[in-house]
């Protein structure tokens, strides 16, 4: 998937797409295995051990099982929307990969509005969740969908503002520029508040615990994907894990110096940092109880957004003074 | 049943009978306005098995295994209550060693029940990991009880007049080891759960039950102690060997979910204290009363006995007409009374709060349906 940054070649695009598809699938399989292992070891148990070395190909077995499952379509669903939702949730996730710089040269399209592209396509996942919830004709699913929309709208704002304070320092939306600007010091040390805010917002944005309200199983059974089975359910699952990869990749690019690091190749450093962030997000999930819905919205509107704004203003002032 | 469709802005949401948070086959019909609950109506009876009727159709001893299935989480307290009722009718004197064994096993069972509740309750609140920690600790109790009772869940251990099998020194040493182990785990529970900001936010000030409401609805157990009323049958109407031991009754102050959680959490420590004293002081001697009749055929009479089970007061009202089967046996189960307050405290809360409140009541649905 490596092409020169600005040349548009058909071959490059196709190779890139195939590469992204492969990456998404392998990443999801790995993350699910990782999540099971991480949760297991936090819960005093070994996790999957039977299929492959320490259960390494357990998720492949599970994926095959899901492929063989019957695709149930309940009678009273809004059929076109119901069928479209799993695809709609998956497409924006793929697009986001186009602009992520995995290393110095490994990037499909180095667009000068890279950040905006990722964030705007990430916003589309809300649409898919709403479609799934509404079309399912199930009260619990609608609940999950409504919660998801309110949550995503509330958390996209502080997310954007925190990223803005970094963009303000760099002066560019281009992801490679942002990484290049960190050649002396990582932004996590310059903007620690922004980093913490970003991690909180990213956890909420990907619907992960303690902010997993759209699919809070003890309240809403399975939330917006209650009525989905087989591969359709698997697509939601895949999208969730890929989303996690994307927010972790953004955190790496914005705060942890992207692919930069000594000795090892850029790609390896990039992946190490991404999976470290993902481990952190998993750690949250297996430690905290779930917040209540109104508390979640309060946290965003009354604490995170003012903090992010203050951080942005302080950054602007400091930049002006220096 | 609720009146449906009277106003457009309300709608009905069925919570259960198959729902992750109803802990069995309980159905709560919710009338909702948005995410707020206007009216909550528990619908019970999905698991009705007719235990009371079964009692009238079998001999006294044959009914004993049923008690372990009424409340499967604190089966030994139910065993104890039934045995006490029959012993009262037969005027049997239980030897002291048997009483001590009953106290030790019953309190172990209470800790197991509370541990399971804490785990399952945090699962309701969305925290997965404490569940496994609690089960890890509970496993030790199950192993201990397995050694003396022969089963891990639906115990049927006590007999009229005592216990059928004596405990050995290994068991007593195991009890002490377990007490040490559980105490070493308090730090984890306190740091990860009791001081967790999200946990406090979810539980403080939610589902408050006043002392008047406790009395009005006949609540018992941690529900009433959480509201600050120190009502515990082990102290109020002592039975078995409980007067011999020194222990406290933890009470809450505001009566919210957090207080009920803390009452159960601190009760585990008190149970450990009872177990340790009983293990230290356990006398030698017989474990069965001397003159237990082969055919249990008590003289005509009526008797009511009650014990403090993990969920509250469990009582048995037993009527004998001098036959080999009870004439009538009435089970007074704590969960039934405790659940009755749900419609009152669930109004104007969110669905997430309802799950938290329902969990804090600690219902065992088969016991309600019995």
Q: A215 Cβ partners below 8 Å, 6+ apart?
A: A144, A207, A222, A223, A224, A225
CATH number of the domain encompassing residue B163: 1.10.645.10
Q: Is residue B222 part of a domain?
A: yes
Q: Is residue A82 part of a domain?
A: yes
Give the CA radius of gyration of chain A.
Answer: 20
Interface probe for A, chosen from B28, B129, B138, B192 (most Cβ of A below 10 Å), is: B129
Phi/psi for A288 (5° steps) reads: -95, 150
Predicted local distance difference test score (pLDDT) of residue B168: 85
Predicted local distance difference test score (pLDDT) of residue A219: 66
Predicted local distance difference test score (pLDDT) of residue B8: 61
Whether A8 has a pLDDT exceeding 70, the answer reads no
Q: A286 Cβ partners below 8 Å, 6+ apart?
A: A38, A39, A42, A43, A209, B128, B129
Q: Is residue B42 part of a domain?
A: no
Q: Is residue A1 part of a domain?
A: no
pLDDT per residue over B215-251, tens digit each?
888 888 888 888 888 888 888 888 888 888 888 888 8
Q: Is residue A277 part of a domain?
A: yes
Q: Which residues make beta-bridge pairs with B329?
A: B318
pLDDT per residue over A189-244, tens digit each?
888 888 888 888 888 877 777 777 666 666 676 677 777 877 788 888 888 888 88
Which three-class secondary structure state does DSSP give residue A250?
A: helix
Predicted local distance difference test score (pLDDT) of residue A217: 63
Predicted local distance difference test score (pLDDT) of residue B187: 84
Predicted local distance difference test score (pLDDT) of residue B281: 87
Greatest alpha-carbon span in chain A: 64
Whether B5 has a pLDDT exceeding 70, the answer reads no
Quick one: tokens of A276?
Answer: 């470290």
Q: B100 Cβ partners below 8 Å, 6+ apart?
A: B241, B278, B281, B282, B283
- Whether residue B365 contacts residue B26, with contact meaning beta carbons closer than 8 Å, is answered with yes
Domain count, chain B: 1
Q: How far is CA B298 from CA B56, B60, B320, B356, in A?
A: 14, 10, 7, 46
Q: Is residue A258 part of a domain?
A: yes
- Whether residue B77 contacts residue B367, with contact meaning beta carbons closer than 8 Å, is answered with no
Q: Cα–Cα distance between A264 and B217 in angstroms, integer?
A: 68
Verify whether the Cβ–Cβ distance A291 to B198 is below 8 Å.
yes
Q: A231 Cβ partners below 8 Å, 6+ apart?
A: A66, A67, A69, A71
Predicted local distance difference test score (pLDDT) of residue A7: 54
Q: Determine what percent of chain B is predicted with pLDDT higher than 90.
A: 2
Whether B128 has a pLDDT exceeding 70, the answer reads yes
> Chain B contacts of A44, Cβ < 8 Å?
132-133, 136
Verify whether the Cβ–Cβ distance B125 to A287 is below 8 Å.
no
Q: B74 Cβ partners below 8 Å, 6+ apart?
A: B109, B110, B113, B309, B310, B311
Nearest CA to B95 out of B246, B291, B316, B318 is that of: B291
Interface probe for A, chosen from B118, B126, B132 (most Cβ of A below 10 Å), is: B126
**How many CB atoms are located within 10 Å of the residue B23 CB?**
19
Q: Determine what percent of chain A is predicted with pLDDT higher than 70.
A: 94
Whether B6 has a pLDDT exceeding 60, the answer reads no
Whether B23 has a pLDDT exceeding 60, the answer reads yes
Q: Is residue B191 part of a domain?
A: yes
Closest CA in chain B for residue A211: B126
Q: Is residue A306 part of a domain?
A: yes
> Chain B contacts of A203, Cβ < 8 Å?
none
Q: Is residue A3 part of a domain?
A: no
Q: Is residue A4 part of a domain?
A: no
pLDDT per residue over B291-304, tens digit each?
877 888 888 888 99
Quick one: tokens of A21?
Answer: 């598809």
Q: What is the DSSP string of A133-161?
A: HHHTT-HHHHHHHHHHHHHHHHHHHHHHH
Whether B337 has a pLDDT exceeding 80, the answer reads yes
pLDDT per residue over B176-194, tens digit each?
899 888 888 888 888 888 8
The average pLDDT across A276-286 equals: 87
Strands B312-320 and B11-15: unpaired
pLDDT per residue over A162-188, tens digit each?
888 888 888 888 888 888 888 778 887
Whether A3 has a pLDDT exceeding 60, the answer reads no
Predicted local distance difference test score (pLDDT) of residue A5: 46
Predicted local distance difference test score (pLDDT) of residue B2: 47
What 8-state DSSP symbol labels residue B205?
A: T
- In this prediction, residue A63 has a pLDDT band, given cuts at 50, 70 and 90, of confident
The average pLDDT across B357-365 equals: 84
Q: How far is B33 from chain A (nearest CA, A)?
A: 12
The average pLDDT across B35-52 equals: 84
Domain count, chain A: 1
pLDDT per residue over A72-90, tens digit each?
777 877 788 888 888 888 7
Least confident of A16-20, A198-202, B164-168: A16-20
Measured N-to-C along each axis, helices B60-70 and B75-90 cross at an angle, to the nearest 10 degrees, of 150
Q: Cα–Cα distance between A222 and B265 in angstroms, integer?
A: 30
| Burial tier of A46 (Cβ tally within 10 Å: 0-12, 13-18, 19+) | exposed
The average pLDDT across A235-264 equals: 83
Q: Is residue B360 part of a domain?
A: no
Structural domain that includes position B74 = 62-293
Alpha-carbon torsion (A175, A178, A182, A183), positive or negative: positive
Q: B177 Cβ partners below 8 Å, 6+ apart?
A: none
Q: Cα–Cα distance between A235 and B24 in angstroms, integer?
A: 31
> Chain A contacts of B124, Cβ < 8 Å?
218
Structural domain that includes position A97 = 10-321
pLDDT per residue over B57-94, tens digit each?
888 888 888 888 888 888 888 888 999 888 888 888 88
Verify whether the Cβ–Cβ distance B352 to A286 is below 8 Å.
no
Q: Is residue B13 part of a domain?
A: no
Verify whether the Cβ–Cβ distance B129 to A218 is below 8 Å.
no
What 8-state DSSP symbol labels residue B196?
A: -
Q: Is residue A2 part of a domain?
A: no
Long-range contacts of A285-288 (CB under 8 A, 24+ apart): A285/A39, A285/A208, A285/A209, A285/A210, A285/A212, A285/B128, A286/A38, A286/A39, A286/A42, A286/A43, A286/A209, A286/B128, A286/B129, A287/A42, A287/B127, A287/B129, A287/B192, A288/A209, A288/A210, A288/B126, A288/B127, A288/B196, A288/B198
Alpha helices in chain B (DSSP H): 51-55, 60-70, 75-90, 96-124, 129-149, 169-189, 197-203, 211-217, 222-226, 233-236, 257-281, 334-339, 342-345, 351-361, 365-369
The strands making up B11-15's β-sheet, listed across from edge to edge, are: B11-15, B27-33, B36-43
- Whether residue B304 contacts residue B315, with contact meaning beta carbons closer than 8 Å, is answered with yes
ipTM surpassing 0.90 = no
Q: How far is CA A87 from CA A123, A163, B265, in A?
A: 15, 28, 47
Phi/psi for B12 (5° steps) reads: -105, 130
- Whether residue B87 contacts residue B61, with contact meaning beta carbons closer than 8 Å, is answered with no
> Chain B contacts of A139, Cβ < 8 Å?
11, 13
Q: Cα–Cα distance between B349 and B172 in angstroms, integer?
A: 47
Residue scoring higher pLDDT (A44 or A279): A279
Q: Which residues make beta-bridge pairs with B168?
A: none
Q: Determine what percent of chain A is predicted with pLDDT higher than 90.
A: 0
Predicted local distance difference test score (pLDDT) of residue B1: 41
Predicted local distance difference test score (pLDDT) of residue A189: 80
Whether chain B has a CB inside 8 Å of the CB on A42: the answer is yes
């Amino acid at each position: 998937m490596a092409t020169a940054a600005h040349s548009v070649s058909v071959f490059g695009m196709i190779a890139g797409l195939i590469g992204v598809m492969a990456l998404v699938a392998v990443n999801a399989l790995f993350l699910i295995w990782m999540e099971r292992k991480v949760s297991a070891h936090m819960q005093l148990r070994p996790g999957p051990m039977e299929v492959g070395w320490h259960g390494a190909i357990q998720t492949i077995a599970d994926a095959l099982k899901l492929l063989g499952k019957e695709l149930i379509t309940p009678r009273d669903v809004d059929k076109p929307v119901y069928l479209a939702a799993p695809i709609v949730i998956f497409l924006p996730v793929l697009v986001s990969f186009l602009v992520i710089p995995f290393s110095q040269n490994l990037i499909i399209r180095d667009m000068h509005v890279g950040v905006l592209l990722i964030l705007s396509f990430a916003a589309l996942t809300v649409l898919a969740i709403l479609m799934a919830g509404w079309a399912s004709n199930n009260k619990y699913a609608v609940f999950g969908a409504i919660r998801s929309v309110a949550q995503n709208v509330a958390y996209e704002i502080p997310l954007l503002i925190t990223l803005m304070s970094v963009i303000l320092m760099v002066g560019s939306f281009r992801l490679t520029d942002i990484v290049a600007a960190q050649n002396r010091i990582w932004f996590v040390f310059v903007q620690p508040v922004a980093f913490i805010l970003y991690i909180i917002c990213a956890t909420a944005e990907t619907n992960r615990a303690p902010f997993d309200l759209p699919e809070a199983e003890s309240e809403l059974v399975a939330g917006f994907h209650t009525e989905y089975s087989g591969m359709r359910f698997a697509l939601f699952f895949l999208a969730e894990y890929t989303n996690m990869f994307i927010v972790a990749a953004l955190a790496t690019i914005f705060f942890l110096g992207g692919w930069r690091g000594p000795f090892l190749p850029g790609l390896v450093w990039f992946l190490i940092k991404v999976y470290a962030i993902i481990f952190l997000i998993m750690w949250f999930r297996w430690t905290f109880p779930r917040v209540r819905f109104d508390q979640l919205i309060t946290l965003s509107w009354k604490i995170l957004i003012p903090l992010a704004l203050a951080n942005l203003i302080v950054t602007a002032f400091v930049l002006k003074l220096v | 049943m609720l009146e449906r469709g009277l106003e457009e802005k309300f709608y009905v949401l069925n919570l259960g009978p198959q729902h992750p948070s109803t802990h069995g086959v309980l159905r709560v019909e919710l009338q909702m306005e948005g995410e707020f609950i206007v009216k909550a109506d528990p619908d019970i009876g999905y698991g009705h098995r007719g235990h009371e009727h079964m009692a009238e159709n079998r001999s006294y001893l044959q009914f004993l295994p049923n008690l372990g299935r009424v409340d499967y989480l604190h089966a030994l307290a139910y065993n104890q209550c039934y045995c006490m009722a029959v012993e009262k009718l037969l005027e049997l004197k239980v030897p002291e060693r048997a009483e001590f064994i009953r106290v030790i096993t019953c309190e172990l069972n209470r800790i197991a029940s509370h541990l399971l509740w804490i785990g399952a309750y945090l699962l309701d609140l969305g925290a997965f990991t404490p569940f496994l920690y609690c089960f890890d600790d509970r496993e030790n109790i199950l192993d201990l009880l397995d050694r003396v009772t022969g089963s891990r869940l639906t115990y049927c251990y006590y007999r009229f007049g005592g216990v059928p099998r004596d405990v050995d020194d290994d068991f007593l040493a195991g009890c002490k080891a377990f007490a040490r182990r559980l105490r070493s785990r308090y730090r984890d529970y306190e740091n990860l759960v009791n001081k967790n900001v999200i946990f406090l936010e979810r539980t403080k000030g939610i589902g408050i039950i006043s002392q008047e409401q406790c009395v009005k609805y006949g609540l018992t157990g941690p529900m009433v102690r959480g509201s600050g009323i120190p009502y515990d049958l082990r102290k109020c109407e002592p039975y078995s060997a409980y007067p011999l031991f020194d222990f406290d009754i933890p009470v809450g102050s505001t009566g919210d979910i957090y207080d009920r959680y803390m009452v159960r959490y601190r009760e585990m420590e008190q149970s450990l204290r009872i177990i340790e004293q009983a293990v230290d002081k356990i006398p030698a001697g017989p474990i069965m009363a001397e003159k237990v009749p082969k055919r249990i055929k008590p003289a005509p009479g009526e008797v009511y006995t009650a014990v403090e089970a993990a969920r509250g007061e469990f009582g048995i009202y037993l009527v004998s007409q001098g036959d080999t089967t009870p004439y009538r046996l009435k089970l007074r189960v704590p969960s039934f009374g405790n659940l009755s307050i749900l419609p009152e405290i669930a109004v104007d809360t969110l669905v997430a709060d309802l799950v938290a409140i329902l969990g804090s009541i600690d219902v065992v649905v088969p016991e309600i349906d019995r």
